[in-house]
């Protein structure tokens, strides 16, 4: 085993400098290092697929957030799925498939049991590696707990979700349909809007790039919005605020329209609608629900199995070298479904 590992080279992407606005090639540095035997208690994981997330842009900024920024010179943080290829930990064996923070690199030495070194074994009978980064991974858990705990859907209510064709949005809308809501998506472009209506069964979808969100909400939410699941912030949040129903709930999940701003972030203008409608706006961070992920995964797996739910992943080939340009697809709306970077074939 030792001689085989020593022949491997680990290609990595490190943060070279902090971006201003959209990240560019000069913000990243490609490097290699030899692959070493795992230390005592650790495992060595070969990365199969990496999750590319809007939150990554926030991790590049200096300053306080819900998680520390990636340091200059560090391997870029990323969730991923991989296969254990060597283990000095009794809980993991070579061949196990795991998910965790593997980083943008081909091999990860995971020090299991220390902060940041958490690895979960996953079952490929439940879903593919890419689905474990989507509906059974961080976006799916965000959708589930954001909707169920903060949104608290009731049958007959109207839910609006922005970023509707994306990773979080697709699961929010489908789950809300299963819970009996009328579901209206907001997405960029006719192809995405058609897909969420025809394939996922949303009641309507507003193309914010091709028409007026205000007019769309007026047409499709005649009784107002009971739940607005916000993935994008900015003007779209303001249009949703203007259409709230009494006792509405707004789930502040993300604000992707603001992540590359060089000017200060745009806050909501129409917030007095919260007062008028006795409404509530609440932020959520998915990691707070980690103890309940198994319950959510079991429920979502049931819906995928019985055909009530679908998942769409946008898998990009190209390995870690393709990371910088692939990440930026998220901010141009060029991903269609959960954006996944394939790093290696599972052989
Ligand atoms: N709070 C949490 O714990 C948590 C966890 C996971 C994700 N999130 C947040 O959830 C949101 C969705 O994440 P995701 O992983 O599901 O990404 P995603 O929706 O799969 O991809 C991002 C999508 O955002 C849309 N977008 C990009 N720029 C936009 C703009 N200026 N205005 C409106 N829409 C824009 C694009 O879709 P269109 O083509 O439709 O424009 C793009 O495809 C993000 O804000 C993310 O930060 C939060």
Q: What is the pLDDT along the chain (347 residues), one digit of tens a residue?
A: 445 888 899 999 999 999 999 999 999 999 999 998 998 989 999 999 999 999 999 999 998 888 899 999 999 999 999 999 999 999 999 999 999 999 999 999 876 655 455 789 999 999 999 999 999 999 999 999 999 999 999 999 999 999 999 999 999 999 999 999 999 999 999 999 999 999 999 999 999 999 999 999 999 999 999 999 999 999 999 999 999 999 999 999 999 999 999 999 989 999 999 999 999 999 999 999 999 999 999 999 999 999 999 999 999 999 999 999 999 999 999 999 999 999 999 87
Give distance in angstroms: CA of 4 to centre of ligand 1: 41
What are the b/e assignments for 224-240, b being 16+ CB within 10 Å?
bbbbbbbbbbbebbbbb
Asked whether 173 lines ligand 1 (CB < 6 A), one says no
Q: What CATH topology corresponds to 2-134+312-342?
A: Quinone Oxidoreductase; Chain A, domain 1 (3.90.180)
Beta bridge partners of 12: 31, 105
Q: Is the pTM of this model over 0.75?
A: yes
Print burial letters for 121-131: b (CB count within 10 Å at least 16), e (below 16).
Answer: ebeeebbbbbb
- Domains of the chain, by residue range, sit at 2-134+312-342, 138-287
Q: Where are the alpha helices (DSSP H) in the chain?
A: 2-6, 55-59, 138-145, 167-178, 190-198, 213-220, 234-241, 272-276, 293-305, 323-332
What are the φ/ψ torsions at residue 133 (nearest 5 degrees)? -100, -5
CB within 8 Å of 312: residues ≥ 6 apart: 134, 165, 170, 195, 336, 337, 338
pLDDT for the residue 111? 67
Find residue 340's DSSP bridge partners: 51, 315
Identical fold at 2-134+312-342 and 138-287?
Answer: no
Fold annotation for 138-287: Rossmann fold (3.40.50)
Task: Please give the DSSP secondary-structure letter assigned to residue 40.
Answer: T
Q: What phi and psi values does residue 103 have, to the nearest 5 degrees?
A: 85, 165
User: How many angstroms does the Cα of residue 14 sit away from the middle of ligand 1?
Assistant: 23
Give per-residue burial for 168-179: e unless 16+ CB within 10 Å, then b: bbbbbbbbbbbb
CA 278 to chain centroid: 30
The predicted structure's pLDDT at residue 5: 87
Angle at the Cα of 178 (from 130 to 201), degrees rounded to 5? 75
DSSP β-bridge partners for residue 100? 80, 119
Q: Which protein residue's CA is at the shortest distance from atom 18 of ligand 1?
A: 166
Nearest residue by C-alpha to atom 27 in ligand 1:
331
Report the atom number in ligand 1 closest to the C-alpha of 167. 16
pLDDT of residue 2: 47
* Nearest residue (CA) to ligand 1, atom 42: 333
Q: Find the 157 Cα to ligand 1 centroid distance in Å.
A: 23
First-last CA distance in the chain = 17
């Amino acid at each position: 085993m030792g001689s085989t590992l020593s022949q491997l080279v680990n290609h990595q992407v490190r943060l070279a400098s902090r971006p201003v606005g959209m990240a560019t090639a000069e913000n990243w540095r490609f490097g290699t290092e030899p692959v070493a035997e795992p230390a005592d208690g650790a495992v060595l994981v070969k990365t199969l697929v990496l999750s590319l997330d809007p939150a990554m842009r926030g991790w590049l900024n200096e300053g306080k957030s819900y998680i520390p920024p990636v340091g200059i010179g560090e391997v870029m943080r990323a969730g991923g799925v991989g296969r254990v290829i060597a283990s000095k930990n009794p809980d993991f064996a070579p061949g196990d498939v795991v998910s965790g923070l593997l980083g943008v690199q081909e091999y990860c030495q995971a020090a299991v049991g220390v902060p940041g070194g958490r690895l979960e074994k996953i079952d490929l009978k439940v879903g593919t590696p890419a689905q474990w980064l989507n509906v059974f991974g961080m976006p799916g858990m965000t959708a589930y707990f954001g909707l169920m705990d903060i949104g608290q859907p009731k049958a007959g209510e109207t839910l609006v979700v922005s970023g509707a064709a994306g990773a979080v949005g697709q699961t929010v809308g489908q789950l809300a349909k299963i819970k009996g809501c009328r579901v209206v998506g907001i997405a960029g472009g006719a192809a995405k809007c058609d897909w969420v209506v025809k394939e996922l069964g949303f009641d309507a979808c507003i193309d914010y790039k091709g028409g007026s969100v205000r007019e769309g909400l007026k047409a499709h939410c005649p009784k107002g919005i009971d739940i607005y699941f916000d993935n994008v912030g900015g003007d779209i949040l303001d249009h949703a605020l203007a259409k709230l129903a009494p006792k509405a709930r707004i789930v502040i999940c993300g604000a992707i329209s603001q992540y590359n701003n060089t000017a200060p972030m745009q806050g909501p203008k129409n917030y007095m609608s919260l007062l008028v409608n006795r409404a509530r706006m609440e932020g959520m961070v998915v990691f707070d629900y980690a103890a309940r992920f198994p319950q959510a995964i079991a429920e979502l797996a049931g819906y995928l199995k019985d055909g009530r739910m679908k998942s769409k992943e946008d898998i990009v080939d190209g390995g870690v070298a393709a990371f910088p340009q692939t990440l930026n697809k998220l901010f141009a709306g060029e991903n269609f479904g959960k954006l996944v970077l394939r790093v290696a074939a599972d052989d």
